[in-house]
Amino acid sequence: MPKKIWRVVDLLDWTSQYFEQNAIPNPRLDAEVLLGHLLGKSRLQLYLDFEMPVFSEHLTPFRELIKKRIARTPVSYLTNRKEFMSLEFYVDERVLIPRPETEQLIETILTTQTDKPQRLLELGTGSGVIATILAVHQPEWDITATDLSEDALAVAQKNAETHACTTQIEFLSGDLFEPIKAINPNGEAQFDWIVCNPPYVKKTEWDSLSPDVRDYEPEIALFAGDDGLAVIRRLIAEAPEYLAPNGNLILEIGETQSDTVRTLINTEPAYCSCELVKDYAEKERIVLARVS
Ligand SMILES: C[S@@+](CC[C@H](N)C(=O)[O-])C[C@H]1O[C@@H](n2cnc3c(N)ncnc32)[C@H](O)[C@@H]1O
């Protein structure tokens, strides 16, 4: 019996159906992204080449990708790519996959009026998306990016290299402000911005997370104690020491945390204002606090 010739269209139909049967969210999109990745084609090109036959040199690795996706490996870890604010980033299991909410954080910084190049510190840079995008948009700014995870810093550095901003971003490893204190023991590090998308998931929420997140993304990037506020509390308390006059602390927070975070900021005398910014889904996900 002649072997079946698989065309692009057959593979997409079969795979999306199989993903759907296995409760994979966005089955068609995932099938297209994975096949496009393997064939080196954009999703549009796949549609233009719908009738193109696909041979065993690609069928075998495609089967492997399907198996991994069924085991809930996130698509971005399978392709090692994530597009974010129109730029391409390398990602793997060492870093959190950047989320759309974080675009709002970056846009809030970029749309705030400034009269001189800013000195900005990003804590917990992960894949480096925040620091890299800010560097690309503001080449005059002086940026420092840190992470507790050396593994994550290696990914961030790779992304900074790809986007030609390694000379603009200084990468340091360590726990929150410790690396800053280490290079400036007398406290002369004065930043106009301290930015962080911290871990903010409650330990107790582990069971309720999707397996894509729970089983693959780094725990250190997700969880922050029993109430999810362990890192945020430290950031609010410690940031004023490192902020210049009129400097800003800007954080991404969980969707149920805005009231508690507002109270934490209002009870810290160093801050003179606190603003909550809503995301595209009308949830208060960004907090901007200023010192006088
Ligand atoms: C939610 S991820 C954010 C990653 C990236 N900035 C983004 O927005 O996609 C949090 C990052 O903070 C880092 N992190 C967690 N605890 C930390 C700590 N105490 N000090 C420094 N970095 C920390 C994690 O390794 C992780 O890369």
Kindly report, residue by residue over 2-59, the tens digit of the pLDDT: 578 999 999 999 999 999 999 999 999 999 999 999 999 999 999 999 999 999 999 9
pLDDT at 199 over 60: yes
Share of the chain above pLDDT 90, in %: 93
What integer best gives the mean pLDDT of the chain?
96
Atom of ligand 1 lying closest to residue 124 CA? 12
CA 37 / ligand 1 centre spacing (Å): 28
CA 60 / ligand 1 centre spacing (Å): 36
Instruction: Show the 3-state SS of 69-118.
Output: HHCCCCHHHHHCCEEECCEEECCCCCCCCCCCHHHHHHHHHHCCCCCCCC
- Average of per-residue pLDDT across 196-206: 96
Band of pLDDT at residue 280, cut at 50, 70 and 90: confident
CA 97 / ligand 1 centre spacing (Å): 11
Question: Who has greater pLDDT, 150 or 280?
Answer: 150
CA 111 / ligand 1 centre spacing (Å): 24
pLDDT at 67 over 90: yes
How do residues 224-256 score in pLDDT, each as one tens digit? 999 999 999 999 999 999 999 999 999 999 999
- Average of per-residue pLDDT across 94-114: 94
- Give the model's pLDDT for residue 2: 55
Q: 82-84 and 87-89: which strand pairing? A: antiparallel
CA 98 / ligand 1 centre spacing (Å): 11
CA–CA gap between residue 146 and residue 155 (Å, rounded): 12
CA 247 / ligand 1 centre spacing (Å): 21
The pair phi, psi for residue 63, each rounded to 5°, is -60, -40
Task: Give the torsion through C-alpha atoms of 37, 39, 42, 45, to 10 deg.
Answer: -160
- Give the model's pLDDT for residue 187: 78
- CA-nearest residue for atom 9, ligand 1, is 98
CATH assignment of 86-291? Answer: 3.40.50.150
- CA-nearest residue for atom 24, ligand 1, is 221
CA 272 / ligand 1 centre spacing (Å): 26
Atom of ligand 1 lying closest to residue 131 CA? 6
- CA-nearest residue for atom 8, ligand 1, is 197
CA 124 / ligand 1 centre spacing (Å): 3
Atom of ligand 1 lying closest to residue 125 CA? 6
Atom of ligand 1 lying closest to residue 252 CA? 8
How do residues 164-190 score in pLDDT, each as one tens digit? 999 999 999 999 999 999 998 887 779
pLDDT at 1 over 60: no
Q: At what angle do helices 150-162 and 129-137 cross, to 10 degrees?
A: 30
- Give the model's pLDDT for residue 281: 86
CATH assignment of 6-71? Answer: 1.10.8.10
Q: How many CB atoms lie within 10 A of CB 134?
A: 24
For residues 157 and 166, the answer to whether their CB atoms sit within 8 Å is yes
Name all residues whose Cβ lies below 6 A of ligand 1.
Answer: 96, 98, 102, 123-127, 129-130, 146-149, 152, 175-176, 197-199, 220-221, 231
Full strand arrangement of the beta sheet holding 191-196: 169-173, 142-147, 119-123, 191-196, 243-252, 284-291, 271-278
- CA-nearest residue for atom 12, ligand 1, is 124
Angle at 229 between CA 223 and CA 230, to 5 degrees: 75
- Average of per-residue pLDDT across 248-277: 97
- Average of per-residue pLDDT across 183-212: 93
CA–CA gap between residue 206 and residue 188 (Å, rounded): 40
Enter the pTM of the model. 0.96
Amino acid symbol at 198: P
